[in-house]
Amino acid sequence: MAGDDIDLLAAAEQLGVHYQTAYRWVRSGELPAVRVRGRYRLDPDDVAAFAERRDEPQPPRTRRPRGGFEPLADRMFNHLVAGDERAARSAVAKLVEDGVRFTTVMQEVLVPALRRVGTEWHTGRLPIWVEHQASAIVDRIIGDQHPTPRGRRRGTAMVAALSGDHHVLPTSMAAAALREDNWHVHHLGADMPAEELVRFCAEADPDLAVLTVTTPAVHDDVARTAARLSALGVRTLTGRPGRTLQELVDQARSR
């Protein structure tokens, strides 16, 4: 190593991370370092190369379970209906640990299970409290799995549903999918007054606005708000029931 090597603190500063984070990377062997008299020394070129590698957006992982997702979605439905939060959470955690993207888990496991809950509730086979409990469990699962990808952000996005639409889960899923695809996301949730949403975008100037729609009653408001956001120069995407999170991610990427 050349004489201008640096210590771990300087490397952490160069990488813009906490000392402990840099230490963890050194210990795991991801960040090259040598020990001199009990202290780590690093080559600044190695640190710069490491920073560059981290900045590259990660290729999406595409693992699928051997038996496909359908049986997993059925089991998830059963866990949600039984209120078995531990089983629901650990089923999702296991898939993510096995390398399935969380966006895929949401779309292929949580969405079909929720749809089935909706159908059974609508036809009177399930009481409303089961639907409420199932929604609360899914809400916490999305919180558990809050994606924090590495690398450069693609841009800033705002995700919300307008006043009159109380379905917050599709907005949480859209926010999580965009986060997993390296967007910095402002998640404003559901039932958001159009006026406030437009004001937020005027001030925060996001690269992308995503309006999620689940209740048909808000369609006209959504169209009007999308037009106002576009007039502000904010690219706006509108989602509908049945549209997928992968479609959202693809549309967000294409300019």
Question: Is residue 244 a contact point for ligand B12 (CB under 6 A)?
Answer: yes
List the structure tokens of 50: 């490491």
Nearer to ligand B12 among residue 12 and residue 142 (C-beta): 142
For the chain, strand residue ranges (E) read: 6-7, 34-36, 39-42, 155-162, 183-192, 208-212, 235-239
Nearest one of 68, 117, 91, 92 to 173, comparing CA atoms? 92
The residue type at 46: D
CA-angle at 159, arms to 153 and 164, nearest 5°: 175
Identify the sign of the CA torsion 129, 135, 138, 140: negative
Span interacting with ligand B12, options 5-13, 21-29, 106-114, 181-189, rule CB under 6 A: 106-114
Question: Is residue 95 a contact point for ligand B12 (CB under 6 A)?
Answer: no
Question: Is residue 133 a contact point for ligand B12 (CB under 6 A)?
Answer: no
Question: Is residue 117 a contact point for ligand B12 (CB under 6 A)?
Answer: yes
Question: Is residue 247 a contact point for ligand B12 (CB under 6 A)?
Answer: yes
| C-alpha span between 170 and 191 (Å, rounded) | 12
Beta strands at 34-36 and 39-42: parallel, antiparallel or unpaired = antiparallel
Separation of CA 233 from chain center = 24
Q: Looking at 169, 176, 194, 208, which residue binds ligand B12 (CB under 6 A)?
A: 169
Q: Looking at 84, 200, 241, 253, which residue binds ligand B12 (CB under 6 A)?
A: 241
Span interacting with ligand B12, options 32-40, 93-101, 110-118, 200-208, rule CB under 6 A: 110-118
Number of residues in contact with ligand B12 under rule CB under 6 A: 36
Site for ligand B12 in 38-67 (CB under 6 A): none
The residue type at 213: V
Question: Is residue 124 a contact point for ligand B12 (CB under 6 A)?
Answer: no
Say if residue 62 is exposed, middle or buried (CB neighbours under 10 Å; 0-12, 13-18, 19+).
exposed
In the complex, least distance from residue 177 CB atom to ligand B12, rounded to whole angstroms: 8
Footprint on this chain of ligand B12 (rule: CB under 6 A)? 107, 111, 114-115, 117-119, 122, 131, 135, 139, 164-170, 173-174, 210, 212, 214-216, 237-239, 241-245, 247-248, 251
